[in-house]
Chain A
Amino acid sequence: MDLPKSSLEDIEIQLLLEGVYQYYGYDFRNYALSSLKRRIHSFVRLEGLTNISALQERLLHHRPCLDRFLLNLTVNVTSMFRDPSFYIAFRQQVIPLLRTYPFIRIWHAGCSTGEEVYSMAILLQEEKLYHRCRIYATDTNERVLQNAKNGIFSLKLMQEYTQLYLRAGGQKSFSEYYTAAYDNAIFRASLRDNVIFAQHNLASDSSFNEFNVILCRNVLIYFNPTLQKRVHTLFYNSLCTFGILGLGRQESIRFTPCENHYEEIAQGEKLYRRLN
C-alpha cells in the first residue's frame, strides 16, 4: 500500500515522542498514532499552546508539564464487570480449569483504577477459589494505581455496577462488597488481601512471573502493531501451558503474530488458551 508522505505535524509528533523517550524514558513511540494524535492536540489546547513544537519545548524544560502530559495521554476509562458476558464465560469456561491448580497466579495488565481487579476478586470469592489466588495488578500510570489500591469508587456508580454484577452472574447482594461513606463506596479490604499492585510498563518492562491467567483488556488498542507484537510475545512467554489470555470485547488475537499459539475457548468472549 502506498502511504502518504509524512506531514509536518507527523514529524513534530515523532520528534516530541522521541524527546520524551530520550530524556524521560517514557516510551509512547509505538502507540497507535490516530488516537494519540487526538490526545496530544487536546493537551496542546489545554496548555494554551499553538503547536506541537511549542509543547516539545515546554515538556523538555518543565518537568511538571511532563506529569500533566502523562496523565492526559493515557486513557483510564474502566468499569466494574465491564462486558458482563465475559465474566459469565470466565465462570463457565475458566473457573473449572483453575480448580485443578493448587495455586493460581493472575496478571491484570493495564488495570487502571482497579475496577476489573475488584470484579475478579469478587468472582473468585464467590467461586471459593480466592484463597488460592494471587492477583498481580499492574499499570504504567502511578496515579491510577494509587486509586486502585484505595478501592474507593463513586457511590453514584453503584447502581450501574449492581446491574452489571447481576448480569455477570453475581450470586449475592452487591452491596455486601462495599460500605457507603458520604459519596463513596469503599470496597472490602478482604478483596485486596491477595492482590499486589505494582507499576509495570508494557512498552519497556519484561515479564516478572509465570501466570495461569493474564487479563489485558482495552489496553492493546492504544498500541500500534509493532508494540502489540512485543506485548503478545511477552504474554505468551509469561503464560504457563494451557494458560488463559483474556482480551477486550473488540480485540482479537487474529490480527497478531500469536494467532496460532492460542485456541479460543469461549466464542466471541475473547478468552484464549495457550497451546503446548
Chain B
Amino acid sequence: MSFKIIVIGTSLGGLSALKNILVNLPLDFLTPIAIVQHRHKDSDRTLQALLQEHTSLPIREVEDKQEILPGQIYLAPPDYHLLVEPGYFALSTDEPVSFARPSIDVLFESAADIYREQVIGVILTGANQDGTQGLKKVQAHKGITIVQEPATAESSIMPKAAIAAVAVDWIVSLSEIAPLLVNLCDYIRK
C-alpha cells in the first residue's frame, strides 16, 4: 500500500522551512504534496514563484476540481480553503477556521477523510494552533503524523501545540523531514 497524499501545514516562518524541504526532495518523488501556508488574502503569485526556484517538481496554486497527480506540488490559494475529494481538490470560501483561510485543519481533515491511513501529515513552524485538529484526525485514521522539532522551528507554537495534542509518529529537525518523507514513501512503494 502506498501513500496517496502528503499534506503540509505551516504559518510564520514557513517560507524558509518549505524551501528546505523542497530543495531536498528528489526529482522522481511521486507522492503528491498539498501545502497550506498562511498568508494575507491579497497576496499574489509570488509564493509559488519563490518556492519553484527550489525544486523542479512542478508547483501550482490549486484551481477548483484540479486532479491530484503524482509528482506534483499543490499550494492552497490565498483566501480559499483547500479540500481533498476522491482524486481531486475542491476549494471553498467558508468562514476562516482558527482565524485562517486557507486553514491547515480543513486540508488535513478532508485529506484524512478521503485517504485515511494513506495520508502523511506534516506540521512545520508557526505561531498559532491551526493544524492540531487536522493532525489529530490524520492520526485517528491511522495516517502518519510528522512534526518539526520545535527547537528547529522559527516559531515553535504550532509544532508544540500539535505535539501536546497528538501522540505523533515522528518529531524531527527541519533538515530531516525531506529524507524521512523519501524513506516513508520509498519503503512503502517497494
Contacts and interface: CB of A to CB of B under 8 A. Distances in A.
A161 interface: no
Contacts of A33: 85
A250 interface: yes
Contacts of A256: 65
Contacts, number: 74
A34 B115 contact: no
A75 B90 contact: no
A252 B84 contact: no
A169 interface: no
Contacts of A225: 65, 88
A32 B86 contact: no
Interface residues of A, number: 27
B94 A35 contact: yes
Given A1-B86, A4-B114, A32-B85, A255 B92 contact: no
Contacts of B115: 4
Interface in A234-271: 248-252, 254-256
Contacts of A184: none
Given A37-B113, A38-B106, A77-B95, A32 B63 contact: no
A220 interface: yes
Contacts of B91: 221, 250
Contact of B110 (A34, A39, A251): A34
A3 interface: yes
Tell me if B's interface is mostly helix, strand, loop or mixed. Answer: mixed
A141 interface: no
A35 B92 contact: yes
A26 interface: no
A162 interface: no
Contacts of A249: 77
Contacts of A251: 63-64
Contact of B90 (A221, A248, A254): A221
A222 interface: yes
A39 B94 contact: yes
B173 interface: no
Given A250-B77, A254-B63, A221 B92 contact: yes
A218 interface: yes
A34 B113 contact: yes
Given A221-B64, A225-B65, A251-B64, A34 B94 contact: no
Given A34-B84, A35-B83, A75 B93 contact: yes
Interface string A34-74: 11011100000000000000000000000000000000000
Interface of A: 1, 3-4, 32-35, 37-39, 75, 77, 218, 220-222, 224-225, 228, 248-252, 254-256
Given A32-B92, A255-B63, 7 more contacts: A34-B110, A77-B94, A225-B65, A248-B64, A250-B63, A250-B64, A250-B80
